[in-house]
Amino acid sequence: MKTVLVVGAGAAGLMAAGKAAEEGARVILFEKNKQPGKKILITGNGRCNLTNEANLHEFVKSFPGNGPFLYSAFSTFSNWDLISFFSERGLEVKLERGGRFFPVTDKAADVVAVLKKYCLEAGVEFRCGETVEEVIIRDSHVKGVKLAGGGEEPGNAVIIATGGMSYPSTGSTGDGYRMAEKAGHTIITPKPALVPLETREDWVKGLQGLTLQNVLIKVIAAGKPVGEKSGEMLFTHFGVSGPIILTLSRTVRENLELGQEVVLKINLKPAFTQEQLDNVILRDFEKNRRKQLNNSLGELLPGSLIPVIIRLSNIPGDKPVHQISKRERLKLLALIQGLTITISRSRPLRDAMVTAGGVSVKEINPKTMESKLVQGLYFAGEVIDIDGYTGGFNLQAAFSTGYVAGKAAGQM
C-alpha cells in the first residue's frame, strides 16, 4: 500500500488527506499545532465563508494573476461539489449577500469537525504537534519527510499544504516555502493580499469602528483610475479595512510599490447622480432651514462622519442652513461623492488574510498539483502562488487544490 504524507492540517491539507485515503492510500497528516484547522476557525469572523456562488469563469477571474492555473481544479471540484460534500455529511449551508456561502450554524468549528471526521473515517492518521522540516528526495523522487528532532517518516508521496505567511499565530510561518525551495522550486516573493490599508489623514482615526454600507471606492494611482469596487468598508485606528478595501488592497499595494501616490475616492451615495443628491441636500436644508449646518445632515450621513465632512468643506459648522451658498452646497456634495483619503502603506503580511506569492505555478501540474520537478511531491492551498478576492474564493481554492492533490497522490 502506498503511503501519502500530508504536511499541514488546514482546509487544503484536511481535504487532501481525506481524499488520498479514500483512494486507498495509507495517509499520515502532520500538523505542528495541537489541533487541526486552526486558521479555518478564524475565517469569516469565526463563521467560515466556505465558498461563493460565482460560476467557473467568475471564479477564475477572482484570482488576479494566476486564475487560469486553477481552471482545472475548480472544474474537478467545484463550489457546488463542495456544498454537496458538506451537505452529505450533515452540514447545510446558507447563501448571503455577495454570493457568499456560510454554514447554517454560523460556526467555523462545525466545518473543522466535518473535515476531521471525514479524514478519520477514511483512515487518516493524525500526527498533531509534529513539525516537518524537509522533504526527503532522491533522484528526483519523493522518499519521505524529515521531522523536527531528527526523525524520518518514509512515504511515496508528500503533499505540502502548509499555507502562506498570513496570520502566523495559526502556524502559517512560511514552512512550505522553505521546503519547496529546498526541493528546487521557485518561490515568488510572499506579499500581503486581502490586507487593511493605512492612511495619512488623521481624521480617519476619529472614525474608528464606523462601517459604511453600499459605498463605491475608486483607486486613483498617479492621477489615473486603476480599480473600483462597491460594498462595505470599515474605518480603523490606523486607516481602512472591510470587504471592498481588502479586495482593492492588492491593486493599491502594487501601485505603491511602483512609487506612485495612491488615493481612494469614496462615494458615500453612489446610487444618486450629482443632480439627485443636490436635490436631496436642498430638501434637507429646506426642512432644517432654521438649524445650523452641523445639525442638518443627520438624515444623509452617519453622525460621526458629519463633523469630518463639515471640517473638510471649510464651512463653519454653526452657520445657519439658510445662509449656505450654492457654491458651499456643491462643495458638500463633492465631498459626499468623493471623500478622498491617501494611502501611506498596506498593513504587514502578518495582518493579511491571504498571502500573495508562493510556489511558482509554472512548476506545478494544474491537473494534479504535482511538482514538475520532483515526482511524488504535491502542493495544495495558499502555499501556491494563488490569491483571490474576499468572498469565499480562497477557501474554495484550498479545498479544490487539496481535493485534486489528494486524489492524484492517492492514485499514483
Q: What is the pLDDT of residues 263-274, one digit of tens each?
A: 999 999 999 999
Instruction: For residue 265, count CB atoms less than 10 angstroms from its CB and return exposed for 0-12, middle for 13-18, buried for 19 or more.
Output: middle
The model's confidence at residue 45, banded by pLDDT at 50, 70 and 90, is confident
Task: Answer whether 3-191+356-411 and 196-346 agree in fold.
Answer: no
Question: 8: Cβ–Cβ under 8 A, 6 or more apart, which residues?
Answer: 30, 31, 160, 161, 162, 163, 171, 176, 381, 383
pLDDT in tens, 340-383: 999 999 999 989 989 999 999 999 999 999 999 999 999 999 99
Taking the CA atoms of 249, 253, 254 and 256 in sequence, report the sign of the dihedral they define. Answer: positive
Give burial (CB, 10 Å; 0-12/13-18/19+) of 251: middle
Residue 372: DSSP 8-state: S
Neighbours of 243 (CB within 10 A): 19
pLDDT at position 44 over 90: no
Q: Phi, psi (5° rounding) for residue 331?
A: -65, -40
Q: Cell for 322?
A: 439658510
pLDDT tens digit string along 98-109?
899 999 999 999
Q: What is the pLDDT of residue 167?
A: 67
Assigned C-alpha cell, 86: 458538506
Q: Which pLDDT score, from 0 to 100, does residue 170 have?
A: 67
Query: Which among 299, 303, 266, 268 is positioned nearest to 282, based on CA atoms?
Result: 299
Torsion of the alpha carbons at 284, 285, 286 and 287, rounded to the nearest 10: 50
Kindly state the greatest CA–CA separation across the chain: 86
Amino acid letter, residue 295? N
User: Angle CA(385)–CA(390)–CA(392) in degrees, nearest 5?
Assistant: 90
Using DSSP's 3-state secondary structure scheme, residue 259 falls into: coil
Instruction: Classify the C-alpha dihedral 240-242-243-247 as positive or negative.
Output: positive
Which pLDDT score is estimated for 350? 87
What's domain 3-191+356-411's superfamily in CATH? FAD/NAD(P)-binding domain (3.50.50.60)
* Grid-cell match 468598508, residue found: 233
Query: Mean pLDDT in the chain?
Result: 95
CB neighbour class for 399 (10 Å; exposed up to 12, middle 13-18, buried from 19): buried
pLDDT of residue 171: 66
From start to end of 187-274, where are the E strands?
Answer: 187-193, 197-199, 211-221, 224-235, 239-241, 262-267
CATH class of 196-346: mainly alpha
Confidence tier at 398 by pLDDT (50, 70, 90):
very high
Calculate what percentage of the chain has a pLDDT beyond 70.
99
- How far from 130 is each of 15, 24, 32, 39, 40, CA to CA, in Å? 19, 24, 5, 17, 19
Mean pLDDT (whole number) for 228-238: 96
Q: What is the pLDDT of residue 40?
A: 94
List pLDDT tens digits, range 132-174.
999 999 999 999 999 998 899 999 999 999 998 876 766 677 8
The pLDDT of 117-143, averaged and rounded, is 97
**For the residues 17-43, what does the mean pLDDT come to?**
95
Q: What are the φ and ψ backbone dihedral angles of 402, each rounded to 5 degrees? A: -65, -45
What ranges do the domains of the chain cover? 3-191+356-411, 196-346
Q: Which residues of 179-201 are buried (b: 16+ CB within 10 A; e: fewer)?
A: bbeebebebbebbbbbbbbbbee
